[in-house]
């Protein structure tokens, strides 16, 4: 298990469980000039936000993106910018990115347009990166019209496909 906890721990953190029989190596994932947020209290902007490890020459990255409500400008101008620059340097990345990129990915696009994870700014940032990098939203590629959500709001009143796994085009992907 790899854990990247935040202090205080109730704010956020990321963890990955790996079977004991799988050989892996942690990867030092440099976010470059990304600044420290006031919700982090750490000199390292990745604290509680990012884990990177390698298995069979593929780098897996798990993220917990900064909440875009209060921190929308930080999310777009710092976090996304430097995360996407760092991703472009990896040959075979697979990453979990928190955004609902398409209207089909939320239960009520008109009502939810200002929700964290579905703001126009986040979707544009994600879309721009996907075009430049040619990375693939693996689930949406295999299920182009299917409506499924990885997040349900309070009392199940809303849904978002918020946890996206995107892969490098150089990574072999299953055909459908």
Q: What is the pLDDT of residues 127-141, one digit of tens each?
A: 999 999 999 999 999
CA distance 122 to 113: 10
| DSSP per-residue letters across 35-103 | PPPTTT-SS-TTTTTEEEEEETTEEEEEE-PPPHHHHHHHIIIIIIHHHHHHHHT-SSEEEEEE---SG
pTM of the model: 0.84
User: Taking each helix axis from N to C terminus, what angle separates 120-133 and 81-88, rounded to the nearest 10 degrees?
Assistant: 10
C-alpha distance from residue 97 to each of 8, 89, 107, 129, 163 (Å): 23, 17, 19, 12, 6
Question: Pairing between strand 25-26 and 50-55?
Answer: antiparallel
Q: Is the pLDDT of residue 41 over 80?
A: no
CA nearest neighbour of 53 among 21, 17, 28, 78: 28
What digits encode the pLDDT tens for the residues 111-122? 999 998 999 999
**Is 64 an active-site residue?**
yes
Q: Which of 64, 74, 80, 105 is catalytic?
A: 64
Q: Is the pLDDT of residue 174 over 60?
A: no
Q: Which of 74, 80, 96, 105 is catalytic?
A: 96
Average pLDDT over the chain, rounded to an integer: 85
At residue 97, the pLDDT reads: 87
Tokens read off for 115? 């929700």
The answer to whether the beta carbons of residues 89 and 37 sit under 8 Å apart is: no
Domains, in order of start, for the chain: 2-167 (3.60.10.10)
At residue 23, the pLDDT reads: 93
Average pLDDT of the segment spanning 67-94: 86
At residue 173, the pLDDT reads: 47
């Amino acid at each position: 298990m790899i854990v990247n906890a935040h202090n205080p721990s109730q704010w956020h953190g990321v963890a990955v469980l790996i079977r004991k029989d799988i050989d892996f190596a942690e990867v030092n994932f440099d976010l470059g000039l990304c600044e420290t947020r006031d919700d982090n209290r750490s000199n390292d902007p990745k604290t509680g936000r990012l884990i990177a490890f390698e298995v069979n020459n593929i780098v897996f990255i798990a993220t917990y993106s900064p909440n875009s409500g209060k921190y929308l400008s930080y999310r777009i101008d710092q976090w996304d910018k430097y995360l996407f620059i760092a991703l472009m340097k990896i040959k075979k990345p697979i990453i979990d990115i928190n955004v609902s990129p398409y209207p089909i990915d939320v239960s009520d696009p008109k009502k939810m347009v200002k929700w964290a994870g579905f703001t126009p700014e986040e979707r544009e940032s994600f879309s721009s990166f996907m075009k430049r990098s040619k990375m693939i939203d693996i689930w949406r590629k295999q299920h182009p019209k299917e409506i499924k959500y990885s997040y349900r709001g309070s009392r199940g009143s809303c849904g978002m496909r918020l946890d996206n796994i995107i892969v490098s085009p150089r990574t072999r992907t299953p055909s459908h």
